[in-house]
Amino acid sequence: MLKQSQVDQLQARTAEMLARQGILLTPEEHRAIEIADFGLGEIERTGLELITYINTDRYCAKELVLLPHQICPEHKHPPIGSIPGKMETFRCRWGRVWLYIEGEPTATIQAHIPTGSEDYYTVFHEIELHPGEQYTIPPDTLHWFQAGEEGAIVSEFSSTSRDEYDIFTDPRIRRQPEVAEA
């Protein structure tokens, strides 16, 4: 569980990283920066900072900010009833990010899986994204990603985001952050 002081500090750090790349936020957007620690209590290692610009029943746009070597754990966006799972395009804006998806495993991956979580990473087809490069992930596809040594900023363009339905390989993950007041 995160403390409110941690959330405030990470929101400021995220806004600063975005501003350094010319991505400015309104005061309302700054306050709305989501700090996803996935319930593991290791935000610097496994987590994600994000701002959702828009999320309607037709499309979604977000900025994903990763701290140096921070990893977003393996998950997929499943269909919900007759609605297909989320299809998303990642466009690297700054830094370097390694994206792993289903497919032929890369012989030697560049990412570093957190110690003790190795069993929860099962797809290893590596796609390295640099600024200006993008990749589209089909619906219901297992994937995970990690920033390089400087961190990374990734713009996400997708169909409607329903994060509460994401399926994570790691059963310990809680997608909705819990924040303690003190």
For 84-103, what is each residue's pLDDT tens digit?
Answer: 999 999 999 999 999 999 99
Interval 127-136: pLDDT, tens: 999 999 999 9
What band does 177 get if pLDDT is binned at 50, 70 and 90? low
**CATH architecture under which domain 2-180 falls:** Sandwich (2.60)
Domain segments of the chain: what residues? 2-180
What confidence score (pLDDT) does residue 174 get?
A: 87
Interval 26-51: pLDDT, tens: 999 999 999 999 999 899 999 999 99
Q: How far separated are the first and last CA of the chain, in Å rounded?
A: 11
